[in-house]
Amino acid sequence: MINIKNYDSNLLKELLYKMILIRRFEEKAAQAYGLKKIGGFLHLYIGEEAVAVGSISNLDMTKDYVAAAYRDHGHALAAGLDPNSLMAELYGKITGCSKGKGGSMHFFDYEKHFFGGNGIVGAQIPVATGIGLKIKYNEEDGVVLCYFGDGAIHQGSFHESLNLAKIWNLPVVYICENNHYGMGTDFRRVSAIDDFSIMAESYAMKGKQVNGMDVLEVYDATKEAIEVAKSGTPYLLEAKTYRFKGHSMSDPGKYRTKEELELYKQKDPIVSFKELLIEHNVITEDDYIEMDKRCKKIAKDAAKFAEESPEPDLNELYTDLYV
Amino acid sequence: MSIITMREALRQAMDEEMARDKNVILMGEEVAQYNGAYKVSQGLYDKYGEKRVIDTPITENGFAGVGIGAAMAGLRPIVEFMTFNFALQAFDQIVNNAAKMRYMSGGQFKVPIVFRGPNGPAEFLSSQHSQATQTFFAHVPGLKVVAPGTPYDAKGLLKAAIRDDNPVIFLESELMYSWEGEVPEEEYIIDIGKADVKKEGSDITIISYSKPLRYVMESAEILEKEGINVEVVDLRSIRPLDEETILNSVKKTNRCVIVDESWPFVSVASHVGWLISYKAFDYLDAPVELVTSEDVPMPYNHKLELAAQPSVDKIIKAVKKVMYI
Ligand SMILES: Cc1ncc(C[n+]2csc(CCOP(=O)(O)OP(=O)(O)O)c2C)c(N)n1
């Protein structure tokens, strides 16, 4: 059982704060999308915040790395990317983290060790494995957290990567964010098993299933996984979570029942963690309101920054193609 | 004739062929219970059931290969890629198995499979989700490659593709699904490998296919008002290529612009351009001009995204260049 007294109160506050920031940032993004300021696919992470925050909070982004898929806003914020540059990217502006050329699915920050953002299901998994190879090669003290969905876990790229990571002892933690659906497909319809963590056994590594709605459980499990990975055995975590919104803004999500959605909304990772912290006198309700205000302001300012930023010049069309 | 969307025309083609031949099956991501990510397979799952309309996991290389095996063994699978961007993961199966199986088995096997789905530039999706893949596939002997530009052509060509005993890459332009056009109620087939003169003219030939055809027709109308009489050739089928229609048109007009959404380097457009310079050189009054996508991955920013693609403006400029005006 998790005993909240074992955690530094600053850490606890930081976890809550980051989850709220992601939520408010994405609500603002959804609003801007509604106003057609943002185009294309917008895959919201709302409901899943505890996974990115709980895991990435273990990292030191000066030596550790993150690779994510197209549902990448939460991971980018948790990894410390500048909200202004992220919102500007959604707006397609030159001040965006990918200079307006990537959009929602392609957040990147080389300096901050954020290696995507990838729109091809499963394509980031071998890439993350390659980052692990570099860490091992240079004998660095670092780890890679690699995120992908329950849909991606069936791709060959996943299986090929785990095998390579194990035979080369790479410091990679593979994190399957099982939000129950790959687009409109319930994972149970396309998966031979319903506990993905046991796939680790096929590659002689350790696996664990965790409650992805509980930020502390994710935090602890990732901490342990990182230790194991750094000592030479990669690790597979499966975080059971849920997305409250559709697959993307255009998906009404008719393939799931209202009851199921309600059930998970009762387990909202932000609300339940906030209540836990208040109950244990780590924060007061006022502290929460204060944090929430701060996050709303950051999101609002980011939208303003994006709004006021210039579009890329037409001659940017041919920049950054070759070094 | 009724006016229907491209999406509906494609659905009708699959429906009619599935009704006609029980060996025809449809498989891919979200094609069944979700009725298709782009709703092309709407209603087919209800009508034909899970045995014939099959949801797969997200495993492009795997399910493409499964389709190929089933085709070799006697079924006639239609494999839908949610978009052709993801077909690149299945490139190995398509190129090394589907395309070569007949040849390297000394003609023992036929591979009656259709790989279909949305292709080409989309909107606001950046480079991994917005690209024209035809040139990749057109390069490969053993494949047929088809890219219709109207709902009428789409239906007739898809029916032909499903009946074809060779692997056919059937490219549907993502932004065209809701475009409407006349489609007759009675059954018809359009033979693969036959181009279509969409408009007769005498001053210049514009060759195109798929979505840019619309821009070409618009350009032709504008140019007409300026006194330039344009002939429009719609390739429809990229491989096999209807060389005769292309060459006859160029021999008549003596000038040619080729409009293609794929990248310019070693592309469908550059091949057709070479073909004309090789086989109709003496008839040309000006070098053949290409209007293609810019030679860059697709940017997300909308201004850059539009600038990267062929447009009416670019087509008119190219025509005037070739007309020396
Ligand atoms: C190779 C590939 N195939 C298909 C798609 C289309 N697609 C985008 S997201 C998605 C579902 C992925 O689900 P999952 O991996 O569970 O991630 P989640 O959206 O649940 O976070 C699909 C099929 C794609 N982007 N790439």
ipTM of model: 0.93
Q: What is the pLDDT of residue A2?
A: 80
pLDDT, one tens digit per residue, over B138-167 is 999 999 999 999 999 999 999 999 999 999
Residue range A190-203: mean pLDDT, rounded: 97
Chain A contact for B264 (CB, 8 A cutoff): no
Over chain A, what is the mean pLDDT?
A: 97
pTM: 0.96
Q: What is the pLDDT of residue B283?
A: 98
Question: Pick from A106, A189, A317: which is nearest to B126 by CB?
Answer: A106
Residue range A135-143: mean pLDDT, rounded: 97
Residue B302 annotated to the active site: no
Q: Which of B8, B29, B60, B172 is catalytic?
A: B60
Q: What is the pLDDT of residue B164?
A: 98
Q: Which residues of chain B are under the pLDDT cut of 50?
A: none
pLDDT confidence band for A102 (50 / 70 / 90)? very high
Residue B230 Cα, ligand 1 centroid: separation in angstroms?
A: 44
Beta-carbon separation of B128 and A106 below 8 A: yes
pLDDT, one tens digit per residue, over B295-313 is 999 999 999 999 999 999 9
Q: What is the pLDDT of residue B1?
A: 86
Residues of B in contact with A156 (CB under 8 A): 59, 61-62
Residue range A282-307: mean pLDDT, rounded: 98
Residue A84 Cα, ligand 1 centroid: separation in angstroms?
A: 27
Q: What is the pLDDT of residue A291?
A: 98
Q: Residue B30: which of B87, B81, B90, B86 has the closest Cα?
A: B81
Question: Pick from A41, A100, A121: which is nearest to B301 by CB?
Answer: A100
Residue B29 Cα, ligand 1 centroid: separation in angstroms?
A: 9
